[in-house]
Amino acid sequence: MTTAWAHLPNATHIDHVLAHVKQHPDRWDAARDAARDAARSAALDAARDAARDAARGAAREAARDAAWDAARGAAWGAAAALVAWDDCAPILDMPADAVRLLVAVGHHPAVLLLPAVLAMNGETR
């Protein structure tokens, strides 16, 4: 299947995130809540603003097609980070505590990818 983001460097990672949220929306709901606690709203807003312009079209379409309700926001954030920052995909393979550390120091991609890391590892905290 050809997607609007197929030409992007992180296309396979975006597809993986979207497939996971379809299969496990409950994990994404819990992960979103846990990530929200870790990333204060100011840091989350700053990361979203930084990614918004670069990722608006492809990320919104990707998240809309794959996610719903609360999980949609977490999936949109992960897709937006993967679209906006070509070099952020390795964060998906990091332990949750390492990603939380990046969040704590204001690393924008990490803020948006933390819910994905938590959900894909089956963590809720």
**pLDDT tens digits for range 29-81:** 778 777 776 655 556 677 777 777 666 666 556 555 544 455 667 778 898 89
Q: What's the mean per-residue pLDDT of the chain?
A: 80
6 in a domain, yes or no?
no
41 in a domain, yes or no?
yes
Q: Which pTM value belongs to this model?
A: 0.70
Q: Which structure tokens are listed for 36? A: 């929200």
Q: Which structure tokens are listed for 53? A: 């312009």
**Residue 43 lies in domain:** 11-120
Phi, psi of 7 (to 5 degrees): -85, -10
107 in a domain, yes or no?
yes
- pLDDT value at position 56? 62
1 in a domain, yes or no?
no
92 in a domain, yes or no?
yes
Query: How far apart, in whole angstroms, are the C-alpha atoms of residue 119 and residue 124?
Result: 7
Please give the residue that has the higher pLDDT: either 18 or 89.
89
DSSP 109: H
- pLDDT value at position 54? 61
Our count of domains for the chain comes to 1
Q: Which structure tokens are listed for 116? A: 């994905």
Query: Using CB atoms within 10 A of its CB, is residue 86 exposed (0-12), middle (13-18) or buried (19+)?
Result: exposed
- pLDDT value at position 67? 43
